[in-house]
Chains A and B, each alone.
Chain A
Amino acid sequence: MKAAKALLVTVLVVVVYFLHQDFWNWKKTDPLVFGFLPIGLAYHAGYSILASILMAVLVWIAWPKHLEEPDSEQGRPSSDQPQGHR
């Protein structure tokens, strides 16, 4: 990932992370969204949608393409083989 992309990804993730701590809704009940959802609950429902959008953006701009075609069977399999007790 290039530096600019890495910076953009970091900023996006950090901003969305901080939006989770919505201190401004802490003690509010109003308005009732759709007439029945308290604002604090509606905000965090919206936050889940925002998280989904963020992940779509990450998939779009920061997908680790180099992992799509891993080197063929190099070194496989190692997990079963006793490695010696180092």
Chain B
Amino acid sequence: MIPVIVVCCYLVIIAVIGSVAFRKTQANTEDFFLANRTVGSMVFFLSLFATNMTAFAILGSSGQAYRQGVGIYGLMASSSSLVIPLTIFFIGTKLWSLGKKFGHQTQVAFFRDRWECSSIGTVIFILSVVMLVPYMIISIMGGGRVLTDISGGRVVYPLGCAVVALVVTANVFFGGMRGTVWVNIFQTLLFLLFGAVAVGVISHSLEGGFGDYISKIAGNPKMRFLLTRERMPERYFWSYTFIPLSSIMFPHMAIMCFAARKVTAFKRTVVLYPLAIMAIWLPCIFLGVLGTQLEPGLKNPDGILLHLLSDHAPVWLAGILGAGIISAVMGSDTHQVLAVSTMFTKDVFAYYGGKDRYGEKGSVLFARGFILAVTIIAYLIALKTPESIFELAVRFAFTGFAAMAPVMIAALFWKRSTKYGALASTLWVAGWLLLTWYAHRISDGIAPKPGQPAVIIFSALGHLFERSTANVTVFGFLPVVPMVLGSAAVMVLFSLVTPPPSRATIEKYFPKESAEPRDRASAPGIAQPAQAPAP
């Protein structure tokens, strides 16, 4: 019961921080959604990191390491430690600047303005929401499951989900972005410490130290693969370096970028981000592999850390570490709820006249009502639907958002990119998602067991589509590879064969380049001012 009490204390602290933030909140949307763009450097780092870290970083990573070994770190963590800071450096800073300059609060608002087109924003909005909502639901499920496991079943799953949904809702409903980032400081520090403390405590309780156990695994031919990547195809491993492109495309990450007070806040974030990833993932992966010796034969390896903690840590410490896991769940979930609410309020409600009719206060009221409604619906869905469906949907979401990265890059850095290019890219991504979903569904029955080679899905197409244990592959690569490369190619092709944005828009978004050479206005591909629609 002690772990439950500790976790309850943690939840009370979260609620108190949220209520303090509520008192500071002003009745306008910029304050509610972006904390008036005043998030300072260190808080920005801690909050951005919390935004992107889910329960998977702790529970899923150790569970995957239990099944597949140490290769999971290179596959998911070290690739992220390079690609995510790079995207924050090049894309995040530019997004921040344009948001500050033109008042954008969401990606969709930027896309609509950049390409002078309402429809492209709406299409991207729909795709983004479809990909984000399952992520939000699975976070509630994950939180509920952790509470149930920590309490040894005393807190039943529906109650666990309800507690998580309630705390997240209260935090976002009252505190908005300010409440969320304040809570994130506490949460991130807690789960950053989690790994080191867990390793220290478990090593203290082991006789002979870690080296003995690792040597045992290395000496066992059936388990040796856990310390290498011999069961991990090189193409699969390389494909995974594309997945972290999704990070900056997730609406909650992009919206967080708009909230920084100064662009210099990004400096500390990009340098510390890889180290923070290592601080969480390395101990969890290592303990996951070690768990194969200490807790062999687990049916659900995602619970390996909870098993290790309950067997090797004092009860009170297990509670604090459990709170660390809950922190990871809630840190990202609050941002997801806030992001969905921000998008509906800004991209739908305000854009289609709601703000003009009901004003700033009305918009904030709408946002709060929406937060309430969306978490109630998410909670009900979480209770009724099997988790496996959402796990699959989230994997598809990562792939889909990664494949949307070329759209963002083109919008920010290529003035000749057009709305038709963006639309074609978006449809390319949506089409591939449907195709791989279909291929996945029909190949479930023939999926090979772990360690066995992939099997062909459509015999007429040879090795084009194959099914491995958990994924559909395209010539051995994950679908994210053709999706990202194809999305970029389609963007370029359709942009070049369609009329460019107006001169006014190009001058607005690329002021330096288009300022001096007057004659470039008449160059092919740059529309004349007279043709520009009113901004």
A83:B82 contact, CB within 8 angstroms: no
> CB-CB < 8 A to B350: which residues of A?
80
A-B residue pairs, 4 tightest by C-beta:
A77-B103, A79-B109, A36-B210, A51-B274
Q: In the complex, identify which listed stretch (B51-59, B143-151, B154-162, B221-229) lies at the interface while the others stay far away.
A: B221-229
B71 contacts partner chain A, Cβ-Cβ < 8 Å: yes
> CB-CB < 8 A to A64: which residues of B?
93-94, 263
**Complexed CA–CA distance, A17 and B240 (Å):** 12
CB B115 to nearest CB in A, in angstroms, measures 9
Q: In the complex, identify which listed stretch (B19-27, B133-141, B277-285, B486-494) lies at the interface while the others stay far away.
A: B277-285
A48:B78 contact, CB within 8 angstroms: yes
| Most chain A C-beta atoms within 10 Å of own C-beta, residue among B262, B274, B351, B535 | B274
A48:B77 contact, CB within 8 angstroms: yes
CB A16 to nearest CB in B, in angstroms, measures 6
Contact size class for B?
Answer: 35 or more
Given known A-B contacts A17-B241, A48-B81, A68-B263, A80 and B74 have beta carbons under 8 A apart: no
> CB-CB < 8 A to B423: which residues of A?
none
**Complexed CA–CA distance, A71 and B509 (Å):** 12
Instruction: Please report A residues at the B interface, Cβ cutoff 8 Å.
Output: 13, 16-17, 20-23, 25-30, 32, 35-38, 40-41, 43-45, 47-49, 51-52, 54-56, 58-59, 63-64, 66-68, 70-71, 73-80, 82-86
Main secondary structure of the interface of A (DSSP, over half): loop
B353:A29 contact, CB within 8 angstroms: no
A29:B82 contact, CB within 8 angstroms: no
> CB-CB < 8 A to B106: which residues of A?
79
> CB-CB < 8 A to B74: which residues of A?
20, 22, 40-41, 43-44, 47
A75:B508 contact, CB within 8 angstroms: yes
> CB-CB < 8 A to B277: which residues of A?
48
B78:A44 contact, CB within 8 angstroms: yes
> Which B residues from 80 to 134 make CB contacts under 8 A with A?
81-82, 85-86, 89, 93-94, 96-97, 100-106, 109-110, 112-113, 116-119
B498 contacts partner chain A, Cβ-Cβ < 8 Å: no
| Most chain B C-beta atoms within 10 Å of own C-beta, residue among A16, A32, A41 | A41
**Complexed CA–CA distance, A36 and B526 (Å):** 61
Given known A-B contacts A70-B97, A78-B113, A58 and B211 have beta carbons under 8 A apart: no
B229:A40 contact, CB within 8 angstroms: yes
| Most chain B C-beta atoms within 10 Å of own C-beta, residue among A55, A70, A82, A85 | A55
**Complexed CA–CA distance, A67 and B74 (Å):** 33
> Which B residues from 59 to 76 make CB contacts under 8 A with A?
70-71, 73-74
B307 contacts partner chain A, Cβ-Cβ < 8 Å: no
**Complexed CA–CA distance, A29 and B228 (Å):** 6
The chain B residue with its CB closest to the CB of A23 is: B234
The chain A residue with its CB closest to the CB of B65 is: A41
CB B465 to nearest CB in A, in angstroms, measures 24
Contact partner, B352, options A29, A47, A51, A82, Cβ 8 Å: A82
